[in-house]
Amino acid sequence: MLDFLMKWPAEVDLLLIAGVSLLIAMGGLWLLRGRRGAMADIRREHDVIGFTFNAVGVIYGVMLGFVLSMIWSEYSHTADVATAEGVNLRILYYKSFALPATNQVPIRKALLTYAHAVAEDEWITLRHSRESPKAQQAIMDLWKHYYDVQPADEVQKIWLRESLNTLNETTSQRRMRMQASEQTVNPLIWELLICGGVITISFMLIFGIERFRFHLFMTWAVTFLILLILFIIFELDNPFWGDPHIAPDAFLRFIASCPAPQ
C-alpha cells in the first residue's frame, strides 16, 4: 500500500514524514486544547501522566529497537549472501579451466548468462518478492552443462567434484536470496508497533505544558522520530527495494571481469 514511497528520493520521504508529523501534532493539540478545562484537568494529574509516559516510552523504545535490530541483521545477512553468490560464479568460472576442453566454453557462457539474468531481470522481480523465470532457467541450464561433463582423469574428477560443491552452494545462496525477498515483518508486529506509537504520541499530547509552541515542538519531535523509525523498518523489510537497498554489484563485477568466451 505504501510502495509508492520507495519510488521517491529519500529527501522527499523525509520531508513527507516531517509534514505528516507536524499535522498529527497540530491536529491532536488543537482537539485537546479546544476543549474547555481539559488542560487544567490534565495538569492536576501531571505526575501520574509523567510516570506512565516514562514506562510506556521505555517499553515502546525497546520494542522499536528490537525490531529494527532484527531487520538490519537480516538485511546485512542477505547482502552477504548476494555477494557470496556473485563471488562463487567467478570461482566456478576459474575452475572451469580445469575441466575437459569441450565443456569449458559452454559452462563459462552459462555462468555469464545466469549472471546477466540475475542482475538485469531477477533483481527487478525481487522488488515484488518474485523470482525470475529467466534466471531460474539459466541456473537449470548451468546444472545441465555440469551433468554433461565426463572427466578424463582423476584430476578432472576432483575439479568437477569441487565445482559441483560450489554450484550447490551457489544454488542454496540463490534460494536464501529469494526467501529474504519474501520474508516480511509479521502483521501482528506491525500492529504492536503502530498501537505503541499511537499510545506514545497520545501521552505527549496530554502533557500539561502551558506554552503551545513548546508543546507542539515536543509532540512533533516524538512523532517525527517514531514515524521515521517505522519508515526505516518498512524500507528495510524488502532488502531489494527502497533506499537503502542491496544492489547486484557482485554479479556486475563478475560480468565486467570475466570476458565472454568465444
C-alpha distance from residue 200 to each of 42, 58, 60, 192, 229 (Å): 16, 10, 8, 12, 14
pTM of this prediction?
0.79
Supply the pLDDT for residue 127: 85
Q: Could you tell me if 109 and 84 are in contact, meaning their C-beta atoms sit under 8 angstroms apart?
A: no
- Which residues lie closer than 8 Å to 157 by C-beta, 6 or more apart? 151
Give the start-to-end residue ranges of the domains of the chain: 11-33+46-257
The pLDDT value recorded for residue 116 is 96
Residue 108 pLDDT: 95
pLDDT < 70 stretches in the chain: 1-11, 32-50, 208-209, 262
Q: What percent of the chain has pLDDT over 90?
A: 47
- pLDDT at res. 253: 94
pLDDT score at 115 = 96
Residue whose grid cell is 503502530: 194
pLDDT value at residue 76:
92
CA distance 53 to 203: 6
The predicted structure's pLDDT at residue 119 = 94
CB 17 within 8 A of CB 224: yes
Looking at residue 53, its pLDDT comes to 76
pLDDT at 144: 96
